Amino acid sequence: MKSRSIVGTSMLALAVAAAGCGVRGPARPTREAVTALLQQEANTLKTDGEKLDPVLGVKATWSIQGLDITERPNDATQPWAGTIRFKIKSETKDNASVVTDEFEKKFDYVYSMTVNRWIFQMQ
């Protein structure tokens, strides 16, 4: 009877200790890791943005101006926010001349722990 009591007490102590530790989710990625992933996203946007149909007579050059990354310490599911800033130069052939237009564009993202990647945010 005494050994049963000791085993029961030991099991209870183990259960309380395990509950106190809690189950932790995946670790928050580092700033360096999410910066590299956002840089990859920027490179993809640049490549896709510069692919225009030659029939249109438009040439676009996307220049990455910067990446802004902000930590969101109180948000466990989306711990990082990021912005990709571009300067876009388009050249359009119009008869004998070339019309040049330059403008800036930004894309806002949040890093999702659920899918472990940057998610584009509509504005």
Instruction: Report pLDDT digits (tens) over 81-101.
Output: 999 999 999 999 888 899 999
pTM over 0.85: no
User: Is residue 63 domain-resident?
Assistant: yes
CB 106 within 8 A of CB 85: yes
Q: State how far the Cα of 69 lies from the Cα of 103, in Å rounded to an integer.
A: 22
Task: For residue 92, give its domain range.
Answer: 28-121
Q: What confidence tier does 20 reach under pLDDT thresholds 50, 70, 90?
A: very low
User: Is residue 32 domain-resident?
Assistant: yes
Q: What is the pLDDT of residue 79?
A: 98
User: Is residue 101 domain-resident?
Assistant: yes
Provide the terminal-to-terminal Cα distance of the chain, rounded to the nearest Å.
68
User: Is residue 4 domain-resident?
Assistant: no
CB 58 within 8 A of CB 82: no
User: Is residue 17 domain-resident?
Assistant: no
Least confident of 39-48, 54-63, 113-122: 54-63
User: Is residue 20 domain-resident?
Assistant: no
Q: What confidence tier does 42 reach under pLDDT thresholds 50, 70, 90?
A: very high
- Answer yes or no: is pLDDT of 6 > 70: no
